[in-house]
Chain A
Amino acid sequence: MKIYLKIWRQSDAGSPGQLVSYELDQVIPHMSFLEMMDTLNEQLILNGDRPVEFDHDCREGICGQCGMMINGRAHGPIPHLTTCQLHMREFKDGDTIYVEPFRGAAFPVKRDLRVDRSAFDRIIMAGGFVSVNTGQAPEANGIPITHEQAESAFDSAACIGCGACVATCKNSSAALFTSAKIAHLAKLPQGKMESGKRVLSMVAQMDIEAFGHCSNTEACEVECPQHISVLNIARMNWEYTLSRILKK
């Protein structure tokens, strides 16, 4: 396959960037998208050019490090997939592929396709945890949790923090990411204890980080590699309102 690429190149956060065209011959349909990018970089290095910086690590869809806008869609054209799981068989010979970084005021570009997603860490830091020290834990079977409850908590907890929800949101809202953690912990007795305080501080941090409002378009759920449900957002809204009302 021959592929034409238009890739966002930007040397650092302060500089302007632009789309640069590349051509790549001998792309194999079984290649993953990132392996195609590796091939391009190999070619660039040997030609004496600077290779494209992009985020990636585990390449099996779980670490959440990779993420690009491919042809205007977060993680490419297939729903519920990370960039590393996208394969070139989804494209045709002669296709032009546009590759841009995830964008949003809270996700500044560091270089080329690498973005700074540390805002997510700070949201978790604001309260996305159970306040238990090592050694304080009681017997694990002490508090029964129904099968459904545990499964539902897992569904929320499965978030990989890739940021596709923000990238695909027209407002760059982090509602899905933030709510997934709030819901995960609110659904379990261990996390329930602090849920009121947690939701207030996590939402406040989310706002400080310059993420937008949630318009409930549900695009985030479609792009989410882990199928995180938008009902988590509803849960967050519920917990938030409740907590505001009950707050002394």
Chain B
Amino acid sequence: MDKKQVLSTLLRKTLMALTGLFLCFFLVIHLLGNLQLLMPPEQAKESFNSYSHLLSGNIFIKIISYVLYASILIHCLDALLITLSNRKTAGKYAVDKRGASSKWYSRNMGILGTLILIFLVFHFKDFWYQYKFGSLPKDESGHKDLYTIVIAAYQDWWYVLFYVLSMFALGYHLLHGFFSAARSLGVYHPKYVSWIRVFAIGYSYAITIGFAIIPIYIYLTQHVLWN
């Protein structure tokens, strides 16, 4: 511990904040795309598939996607580094009621993050991998038919449940993460801090509900309304 660290505790947190906020930004784009799934089936299929096609072709989008992969990677590795180092410094108590003075999700960002990571593995395997490397059928416009894959995936209640629960993990992660990122980046003016706090709460709710509602909607429309 004697030598000066290249990456100070503060810089590591800055890195978490920057990558985290980028992921937050991505989530908005992702959600906007996904919301197309809520349209009537025919329209949704057309719109969603062409949107997916658009995302896969554009060079600008491509760069963004590499930043995205890097962000996920850095966010995870940095988190691992921070957690391991915190483990060494943290005091351990025989009786520990320290939880009374903070929110549970703020203390468990690592666990929430791990849950999200597990979800991401499945998520990538089921959709991203399929789209990139799998052999997808084409739709009427000649675009890869991701829509059908998605609809098919949400036919199983357990998959919907897994997805929705994961979104809650994400929601709590964001609830602390978004505003914590602003803190790590140094927003200290009380007025803007409270604005950001309100925005962060709204944002987290919107993302969580937005993403969670889609599989539920698809499941319900497929099983309840039309059967």
Chain A residues close to B by CB (< 8 Å): 6, 8, 19, 69, 71-74, 77, 79, 98, 100, 102-107, 166-173, 183, 203-204, 206-208, 210-219, 222-223, 230-242, 244
Are B107 and A105 neighbours in the complex by a CB distance under 8 Å?
Answer: no
- Are A241 and B186 also in contact (CB < 8 A) when A105-B90, A172-B89, A219-B98 are? yes
Nearest CB in chain B to that of A166: its residue: B91
Residues of B contacting A211 in the complex (Cβ-Cβ under 8 angstroms)? 9, 89
> Is B53 in the interface zone, CB < 8 Å from A?
no
Residues of B contacting A241 in the complex (Cβ-Cβ under 8 angstroms)? 10, 14, 185-186
Residues of A contacting B224 in the complex (Cβ-Cβ under 8 angstroms)? none
CA distance A183 to B180 in the complex (A): 19
Residues of B contacting A170 in the complex (Cβ-Cβ under 8 angstroms)? 86, 90, 98, 107
CA distance A43 to B15 in the complex (A): 54
Q: Is the interface of A mostly helix, strand, loop or mixed?
A: mixed
Nearest CB in chain A to that of B1: its residue: A210
Are B91 and A217 neighbours in the complex by a CB distance under 8 Å?
Answer: no
Q: How many residues of B contact A (CB 8 A)?
A: 44
User: Which residues in chain B, 206-224, are within 8 Å of chain A measured between CB atoms?
Assistant: none
Question: Could you list 16 A-B pairs, sorted by A, with CB under 8 Å?
Answer: A73-B100, A73-B101, A98-B94, A105-B89, A107-B91, A169-B90, A170-B98, A171-B86, A172-B89, A211-B89, A214-B13, A216-B180, A219-B101, A236-B186, A242-B186, A244-B11
Are B12 and A235 neighbours in the complex by a CB distance under 8 Å?
Answer: no
Residues of B contacting A167 in the complex (Cβ-Cβ under 8 angstroms)? 91
Residues of B contacting A231 in the complex (Cβ-Cβ under 8 angstroms)? 188, 190, 193
Closest 4 CB pairs of A and B: A238-B186, A103-B91, A72-B97, A234-B188
- Are A216 and B101 also in contact (CB < 8 A) when A72-B93, A72-B96 are? no
Are A73 and B97 neighbours in the complex by a CB distance under 8 Å?
Answer: yes
Are B9 and A213 neighbours in the complex by a CB distance under 8 Å?
Answer: yes
CA distance A219 to B102 in the complex (A): 5
Residues of A contacting B135 in the complex (Cβ-Cβ under 8 angstroms)? none
Residues of B contacting A104 in the complex (Cβ-Cβ under 8 angstroms)? 89-91
Residues of B contacting A219 in the complex (Cβ-Cβ under 8 angstroms)? 98, 101-102
> Is B109 in the interface zone, CB < 8 Å from A?
yes
Chain B residues close to A by CB (< 8 Å): 1-2, 4-5, 8-14, 82, 85-86, 88-98, 100-103, 106-107, 109, 176, 179-180, 182-188, 190, 193
Nearest CB in chain A to that of B103: its residue: A217
Are B186 and A208 neighbours in the complex by a CB distance under 8 Å?
Answer: no
CA distance A150 to B90 in the complex (A): 35
- Are A171 and B90 also in contact (CB < 8 A) when A215-B106, A240-B186 are? yes
CA distance A239 to B82 in the complex (A): 21
Other CB < 8 Å A-B pairs besides A102-B91, A214-B184, 8 of them?
Answer: A106-B89, A171-B90, A207-B5, A210-B88, A213-B86, A214-B9, A234-B183, A241-B14
CA distance A73 to B97 in the complex (A): 6
CA distance A172 to B96 in the complex (A): 14
Nearest CB in chain B to that of A17: its residue: B94
Residues of B contacting A240 in the complex (Cβ-Cβ under 8 angstroms)? 8, 10, 186
Nearest CB in chain B to that of A222: its residue: B101
Min CB distance B193 to A, Å, is 6
Are A213 and B183 neighbours in the complex by a CB distance under 8 Å?
Answer: no
Residues of A contacting B193 in the complex (Cβ-Cβ under 8 angstroms)? 231, 234
CA distance A234 to B193 in the complex (A): 9
Residues of B contacting A107 in the complex (Cβ-Cβ under 8 angstroms)? 91
Residues of A contacting B96 in the complex (Cβ-Cβ under 8 angstroms)? 72
Residues of B contacting A8 in the complex (Cβ-Cβ under 8 angstroms)? 94
Residues of A contacting B82 in the complex (Cβ-Cβ under 8 angstroms)? 213
Min CB distance A231 to B, Å, is 5
Are A233 and B183 neighbours in the complex by a CB distance under 8 Å?
Answer: yes
Residues of B contacting A77 in the complex (Cβ-Cβ under 8 angstroms)? 100
Residues of B contacting A208 in the complex (Cβ-Cβ under 8 angstroms)? 1-2, 4
